[in-house]
Amino acid sequence: MTTRAVVRLAVADDAEAVATVRAIVAPYKVMSAAATRHLITVQSPKERFLPLVADREGEIVAWASAGINVWTSQPGQAHLSIYVHPDHRKQGIGSELAERLHQHLTEVGAVRVRSFVQPDGLEFARNLGYDGTRQMHFAGLDLTAHLPEQPETPAGIELVALDSVDPRTAYTADTIASLDEPSDSPLDSVDYDQWLEEVWNSPSVDRSLSVGAMAGEEMAAFTVVETAGDRMWSGMTGTVPAYRGTGLAKLVKSVALRRAAAAGITSAYTSNDDENGPMLAVNNWLGYRRVQTELGLLKTL
């Protein structure tokens, strides 16, 4: 008989195994071992982040985490996610992880939890009291194939790589654009130092491939490229309101995808809320094809 999996706190040295489990469960998400290590180890104390693994005789068979969303002004908003390796399901591991995480969230004062599940995890989540109708579409693009023609750069706009700009300029554009990203809790309380640590200095972000569109001193639009081997993920694309609808998101993403392809990246992935019409229009135009839809659910504690 196989030994029971033991749930324990995840540590930095689990990063590689956790990244492997994540890649098996959700191959359309892009996260390197270095980025996973960053996720496990670099969190603001206010987030009360709890990373767990299920360990079966030294083999990591599941990963789960939960914490408080500290980037919204709404108090007590939490997030939770669980990845159980397909060969180790239906053995109570997911339920044990969920119980541990909900217990923790209750103790640290969370009032509402958001989770995204694959369609085959819907019943599991509903049985835990999750409900909702939000949809998150994941889409992929083969960068070795043809990309649409790069749009003209409008007069007064200068394209830059993000490694050549002051992070404050990028932070300003990111926090302004993020206010309009569809979500249950507004992203309206992003601390600069924490943004620097978690976003700007994230080991997955390649600032030399990430592109900004500058209008004088102001960043009008930008797109962030994260990489893991020969795959890339679009961390965030945003255009500040005054410049929307002028083709800048299409432009910066076109340029970034070309730079990534030239750097040897062969596939690109991204995710969009079903309600994000403009971003879906940009990605459809670029040629992204849908590979998975996850369901966004909420549970009140």
Ligand X SMILES: CC(C)(COP(=O)(O)OP(=O)(O)OC[C@H]1O[C@@H](n2cnc3c(N)ncnc32)[C@H](O)[C@@H]1OP(=O)(O)O)[C@@H](O)C(=O)NCCC(=O)NCCS
> Does 244 interact with ligand X (rule: CB under 6 A)?
yes
Site mask for ligand X (CB under 6 A), range 119-158, x = bound: ----------------------------------------
277 binds ligand X (CB under 6 A): yes
Q: Is 130 helix (H, G, I), strand (E, B) or coil?
A: coil
Integer Cα distance of 175 and 43 in angstroms: 19
Query: How far is 89 from 246, CA to CA, in rounded Å?
Result: 48
How far apart are the C-alpha atoms of 174 and 162, rounded to whole Å? 12
Task: Pick from 60, 221, 286, 297 the residue near ligand X by CB under 6 A.
Answer: 221
Is residue 212 a contact point for ligand X (CB under 6 A)?
no
Site membership for ligand X, residue 9 (CB under 6 A): no
**Which residues have C-beta within 8 Å of that of residue 80, sequence separation ≥ 6?**
64, 65, 66, 98, 101, 102, 105, 113, 114, 115
> Which residue of 27, 132, 186, 278 would you call a contact of ligand X, by CB under 6 A?
278
Asked whether the beta carbons of 10 and 51 are under 8 A apart, the reply is: yes
Q: What is the contact mask toward ligand X in residues 245 to 264, using x (rule: CB under 6 A)?
A: xxxxxx--------------
Least separation, in Å, of the C-beta of 164 and ligand X?
A: 21
Residue 63 or residue 138: which is nearer to ligand X going by CB? 138
CA distance 117 to 135: 10
- Could you tell me whether strands 267-273 and 131-142 are parallel, antiparallel, or unpaired per DSSP bridges? antiparallel
Residue 43 makes contact with ligand X by CB under 6 A: no
Contacting residues toward ligand X, per CB under 6 A: 177-178, 180-181, 221, 236-239, 244-250, 272, 276-279, 281-282, 285
